[in-house]
Amino acid sequence: MTHRWLHLRLAAPLMAFGGVAIDHVGPTREYPSASALTGLFANALGWRRQDRAKHQALQDRLVFGALSVLPKGETVPLVVTDTQNAKLEKSDRGWTTWGQPEGRAGATYDSPHRRRRDYLADHETRVVLRLSDGNGPGLEELAAALDRPARPLFIGRKPCLPTSRLFVGWVGGVSVHDALAALGIRGRALWPDEGGAYPGALRYDLADLRNWQSGLHGGSRIVYEGELA
């Protein structure tokens, strides 16, 4: 059966798709995770972090694939590393996306707070997405929310503001792989295991799910990564 797929264009001077963080090091993947897309849509819809059941239900319904659009001659995206050093005082407050400054509790730090964050630089990713059956918003509602979001949108981290409209349009396809191919863009892509045979593609276990009740890692799924001609 041919499905209707939401087509997204994620592009920004800097963006981050997260990854398995170790200590103060925050890496980025090449493709968006299921939890990242869930957070993007939830922010556009105006949901709060406390709406855990809504987040979990939406993540459970996502069926998607992603394609890296790289400059001609390039085979891997450009990754830049930001080394952050900050001395945070008890009275310091930070900017938030809901219009109210955010404070912090606890004693003053005696030494700088150090973090390292990786970003994809001048990168573009295309996403095709549909929703499986279940309760919650439909594809049209998600598309409308991206065009008129309840809050400012960012791709991965708050400084990563998109350079263009996220919602591109619609494509058709029986599977995620078919929908990605329907974009007519050559590049490396990631799609879930839907029982097809993909010679030359790498099949592996990807940990990109979140348990929205606990806020921790929530499991993995089988995906394929390979070239789209």
Q: What is the pLDDT of residues 157-193, one digit of tens each?
A: 888 999 999 999 999 999 999 999 999 999 999 999 9
Q: Tell me the DSSP string of the chain.
A: --EEEEEEEEEEEEE------BTTEE---SS--HHHHHHHHHHHHT--TT-HHHHHHHHHHEEEEEEEEPPTT--S--EEEEEEEE---TT--B--TTSS-B---SPPPSS-EEEEEEEEEEEEEEEEEEE-SSSS--HHHHHHHHHS-SS---SSSTT---SS-SEEEEEEESSHHHHHHTT---EEEEEE--S---TT-EEEEEEEEEETTTTEEEEEEEEEEEEE-
Which pLDDT score, from 0 to 100, does residue 106 have?
A: 58
Q: Name the residue with higher pLDDT: 107 or 149.
A: 149
- Average pLDDT of the segment spanning 138-147: 97
Residue 25 has pLDDT above 60, yes or no: yes
Residue with tokens 């979990």: 56
User: pLDDT digits over 87-97, tens only?
Assistant: 767 677 776 66
Out of 6-20, 105-119, 133-147, pick the least confident.
105-119
CA distance 66 to 10: 10
Q: What is the mean pLDDT of the chain?
A: 89
Q: Name the residue with higher pLDDT: 164 or 109.
A: 164
Residue with tokens 């806020």: 215
Residue 20 has pLDDT above 90, yes or no: no
Start-to-end C-alpha separation, the chain: 23
Percentage of the chain modeled with pLDDT above 90: 66
Q: How confident is the model at residue 68 (pLDDT cuts 50, 70, 90)?
A: very high
User: pLDDT digits over 35-60, tens only?
Assistant: 999 999 999 999 998 999 999 999 99
What does the domain layout of the chain look like in residue ranges? Answer: 3-81+118-228
**What CATH number has the domain spanning 3-81+118-228?**
3.30.70.2660
Which pLDDT score, from 0 to 100, does residue 13 have?
A: 95
Residue 85 has pLDDT above 90, yes or no: no
Which pLDDT score, from 0 to 100, does residue 23 have?
A: 75
Q: What is the pTM of this model?
A: 0.86
What residues contact 97, with CB distance under 8 A and at least 6 apart? Answer: 43, 151, 152, 154, 158
Q: How confident is the model at residue 15 (pLDDT cuts 50, 70, 90)?
A: very high
